[in-house]
Structure 1
Amino acid sequence: MTRIEGIHFQTGKPVSLTIENGRIKEIEANAGRMGGNLPWIGPGLVDLQINGYNGMDFNTLPFEEELVHRVSQSLWKAGVTSYFPTIITNSDEAVCDAVRTIARACSQDGRTAASIAGIHLEGPFISPEDGPRGAHSRKYVKPPDWALFQQWQEAAQGKIKIVTLSPEWPGAADFIAKCTESGITVAIGHTAATPEQIRDAVEAGARMSTHLGNGAHLMLPRHPNYLWEQLADDRLWACVIADGFHLPESVLKVVLRVKGKQAILVSDAVYLSGMKPGEYKTHIGGKVVLTPAGKLHLTGNPGLLAGSAQMLPWGIAHLVKKKLCRLPEAWEMASIRPSELVDLPGKHGLSTNAPADLVLFEWNGDQIAILQTIKNGQTVYGADEMKGGEQSWELLS
């Protein structure tokens, strides 16, 4: 049995948590303790979209099971207790190899299996058009193929839990319905679909928008268009990248106001996240710059982003510092809400009998510092025990 004291992330009041057998056994008010010298306590962060981390990439093949273990462990220092390795558009064989390797890694190590809540397949069933396609290779983009997907799912041992696609393809609604019947969350993303096709997708079971506002044309009809349609549909949860670079504050504000408790924070982190600022040559042959301010852009063109390099604590801090929401809501967007969408036990947050997936952190109004990460009641990261000290996420000025 373990006892933890801290400031409850929702109430702002001191509490004591008793942990037993990997679960929260009891939560008690702790009025006798001063809050000033206590860390904050929040539920573990859940990231629905991780392409890689700290130089390790799920989309540079081949990769070994050891890479999956290392990414899972490295993410603990960012407070991430559950995540979805994200495989993007690639050849049929490459996708199959990637999901198979992730599944094997889960079968080898219990902590890896506990951290990976599922695999997110982002493509290849996306728009072939420039703009919506983003950085995905046009060569491998294709219409939804249920037989092919079943092959990948078999290789993944059933671990593909999220599929991002564009409903602009003929037969997309039938594919979405089959995924939904199989318990897979279908997300709309990288799309050039018409409003009618968006509506058909939602009727068929699509439930989420992948990084809404990104992976889109630079120019759109003012209305109707696929962004308005996704914003307006109350059945769709909206994921946003709140790193300060991918979406302006006005767009984030609108998404949070319109979607309410169905707004979710994702990192969409690429493998250069966690790396030091500098110039890097990516595996697709292009040179990129990771600035000291945290922006990842193409060398020679700061206006073109090369992916997201910031983790969920950065996004939480950005939302709060810009007064787009308060800390409890921002933390919920990166923990409880994604768990609710994909039906993870963490949807219960800090409550009795909930899994003891917890994060202890400092928050000074400008930045978040992860102090300790607990997975299933076991400490898996403690900043004071790691070389280099605390991992901090500083905000943009």
Structure 2
Amino acid sequence: MEEQKTIEGLHYRTQRPIRINLDQGVIRSIEELKECFTPYILAPGLVDLQVNGFQGVDFNEPELEVSDVVFSVQKLWENGMTTFMPTLITASESAVSESIKIIIEACKDTLINATVTGIHLEGPFISRETGPRGAHPLEFVCEPDWDMVVRLQEVAKGKIKLITLSPEYEGAPELIEKCVGQGIQVAIGHTAAHSAQIKHAVEVGASLSTHLGNAAHLLLPRHPNYIWDQLAMDSLWTSIVSDGFHLPDPVMKVFMKTKPENTFLVSDSTKFAGLPAGTYQSPIGGTVLLTKEGRLCMQENPELLAGSAASLKSCLEYLVKANLATWSQAIDMASVKPLSYLTQKSSSIGLQAGNNADLILFEHKDSKMEIKKTLKAGKLVYSSL
């Protein structure tokens, strides 16, 4: 991969021409230019904390190979992704362990290791109830088990960085405290927990709502309910899937207005992202249907989604197309804000001297983002120019 020394473009927020000077994978300085000979826009690389798979690769499949992980990372680079979390859903401990081993083997490559910022375990400590459980297999759902986390973290060589669980179990608060104490962030998701359980989970360290508004009962009481409870918790960050199917536009607008600084995008993408419409077999939901419009659902219960067939880039594009965000706001929600959540920093993320040189150069036509270059740690990992 070729290391870049400089890159020029229009700043994604100001639209002013800039030159970014790079050294050893870090932004050393940013200069404002009087003129710029490129029409392309410079922005931070995209960050997705929930990627189950991409373009034919599923991180949950038992046939997963190192070459599959490498291929998926390359395809994500093409889509402007510079940081992501492979996400493993509810399965047997042995199956999750095998997937982790393959991912860690792929991370022996320095650039892939830098791109895979951590592993997200979405389950198995989730609700057993239909609706909140989503497409996760019931047979492997279990109560919080710290010993299991320790065993999996040993296999992952410390790379498990996020766990989504339901605080409806008696042992959830203790597990949350232990995870946070070991540097693992904890999200509430796939839950049927009541108000007091959610409040307690936040008090002991839960810090995020995973794809809020999804993985829920089809019918809920007006109030109280676990969506309102999480939205009202000021210290909880919110992740949303803005693919046009997971949440109606008014719901996303309310979430974003309620927590304007602490809401970010995830794709929840599966291996079907980028594949043609049809019926497929998946570890997430069994037999699933991908419609020509791009909606991915369980064939036996089409009201229930089976993850997403969208990239983070297309989720970002949807926000712009739906007039829910400007380009710069949508980009921040897909880059700066998830990194702010991960690092618990807000002032040193994005296009600033001293930060990692994780950058994209792109052109937008109407509501579409065309990636021209992707730089990871200052190295050119994708170019269409």
TM-score normalised by structure 1 residue count: 0.92
In structure 2, the CA distance between the partners of 1:146 and 1:211, relative to structure 1 (3 Å rule), is: same
SS in 2 for 1:218: coil
User: 1:52: which partner in 2?
Assistant: 53
User: 1:390: which partner in 2?
Assistant: none
User: 2:235: which partner in 1?
Assistant: 235
* Equivalent runs, 1:34-183 vs 2, <5 Å: 37-106=38-107, 108-183=108-183
Does the CA-based 8 Å contact 2:134-2:305 persist in structure 1? no
Range with greater deviation from structure 2 (283-292 or 165-174)? 283-292
Shift of residue 289, structure 1, vs aligned partner:
3.5
Q: Distance in 2 between matches of 1:133 and 1:285?
A: 11
Does the CA-based 8 Å contact 1:345-1:354 persist in structure 2? no
In structure 2, the CA distance between the partners of 1:12 and 1:312, relative to structure 1 (3 Å rule), is: same
User: 2:31: which partner in 1?
Assistant: 28
Q: Which has the higher contact order (CA 8 A, sep 6+)?
A: 2
Any stretches of 5+ residues in structure 1 without a counterpart?
385-397
Shift of residue 110, structure 1, vs aligned partner:
1.1
RMSD: 1.8
User: 2:324: which partner in 1?
Assistant: 324
Partner amino acid, structure 2, of 1:277: A
Does the CA-based 8 Å contact 2:121-2:162 persist in structure 1? yes
Shift of residue 301, structure 1, vs aligned partner:
6.8
SS in 1 for 2:324: coil
SS in 2 for 1:222: coil
Identity of aligned residues (%): 46
Q: Distance in 2 between matches of 1:289 and 1:262?
A: 33
Is it true that 1:2 corresponds to 2:5 in the alignment?
yes
**Deviations for 1:343-390, whole angstroms, at most 9, x for unmatched residues?**
189952001121110011111232111111111111101124xxxxxx
User: 1:195: which partner in 2?
Assistant: 195
Partner amino acid, structure 2, of 1:12: Q
SS in 2 for 1:131: coil
SS in 1 for 2:235: coil
**Deviations for 1:284-312, whole angstroms, at most 9, x for unmatched residues?**
78543433432223458764433201111
Shift of residue 29, structure 1, vs aligned partner:
1.2
Range with greater deviation from structure 2 (318-327 or 287-296)? 287-296
Does the CA-based 8 Å contact 1:82-1:115 persist in structure 2? yes
Does the CA-based 8 Å contact 2:135-2:285 persist in structure 1? no
In structure 2, the CA distance between the partners of 1:135 and 1:303, relative to structure 1 (3 Å rule), is: closer
Partner amino acid, structure 2, of 1:328: S
Q: Distance in 2 between matches of 1:383 and 1:14?
A: 21
**Deviations for 1:15-74, whole angstroms, at most 9, x for unmatched residues?**
11111211112211123236xx51111101110000011111111114222222221122
Does the CA-based 8 Å contact 2:53-2:270 persist in structure 1? yes
SS in 2 for 1:42: strand
Does the CA-based 8 Å contact 1:209-1:237 persist in structure 2? yes
In structure 2, the CA distance between the partners of 1:272 and 1:84, relative to structure 1 (3 Å rule), is: same
Range with greater deviation from structure 2 (292-301 or 74-83)? 292-301
Partner amino acid, structure 1, of 2:365: N
In structure 2, the CA distance between the partners of 1:359 and 1:89, relative to structure 1 (3 Å rule), is: same
In structure 2, the CA distance between the partners of 1:256 and 1:44, relative to structure 1 (3 Å rule), is: same
Range with greater deviation from structure 2 (173-182 or 23-32)? 23-32
Partner amino acid, structure 1, of 2:316: I
Q: Distance in 2 between matches of 1:287 and 1:127?
A: 21
SS in 1 for 2:343: coil
Shift of residue 207, structure 1, vs aligned partner:
0.2
User: 1:383: which partner in 2?
Assistant: 384
In structure 2, the CA distance between the partners of 1:180 and 1:299, relative to structure 1 (3 Å rule), is: closer
Does the CA-based 8 Å contact 1:187-1:209 persist in structure 2? yes
Q: Distance in 2 between matches of 1:246 and 1:327?
A: 21
Does the CA-based 8 Å contact 1:43-1:358 persist in structure 2? yes
Partner amino acid, structure 2, of 1:18: N
**Deviations for 1:255-294, whole angstroms, at most 9, x for unmatched residues?**
1000111001000001111223344343578543433432
User: 2:294: which partner in 1?
Assistant: 294
Q: Distance in 2 between matches of 1:323 and 1:56?
A: 32
Any stretches of 5+ residues in structure 2 without a counterpart?
none
Range with greater deviation from structure 2 (24-33 or 183-192)? 24-33
SS in 2 for 1:379: strand
Q: Distance in 2 between matches of 1:174 and 1:57?
A: 31
Shift of residue 119, structure 1, vs aligned partner:
0.3
In structure 2, the CA distance between the partners of 1:139 and 1:240, relative to structure 1 (3 Å rule), is: same
SS in 1 for 2:22: strand
Shift of residue 156, structure 1, vs aligned partner:
0.6
Q: Distance in 2 between matches of 1:285 and 1:193?
A: 23
Q: Distance in 1 between matches of 2:284 and 2:329?
A: 37
In structure 2, the CA distance between the partners of 1:283 and 1:354, relative to structure 1 (3 Å rule), is: closer
**Deviations for 1:227-251, whole angstroms, at most 9, x for unmatched residues?**
0010001100000000001100011
Shift of residue 105, structure 1, vs aligned partner:
1.9
Shift of residue 7, structure 1, vs aligned partner:
1.1
User: 1:392: which partner in 2?
Assistant: none
SS in 2 for 1:260: coil
Partner amino acid, structure 1, of 2:368: Q
Q: Distance in 2 between matches of 1:52 and 1:362?
A: 26
Count of aligned pairs: 381
Shift of residue 114, structure 1, vs aligned partner:
1.0
In structure 2, the CA distance between the partners of 1:300 and 1:130, relative to structure 1 (3 Å rule), is: closer
SS in 2 for 1:128: coil
Partner amino acid, structure 2, of 1:372: K
Shift of residue 192, structure 1, vs aligned partner:
0.2
TM-score normalised by structure 2 residue count: 0.94
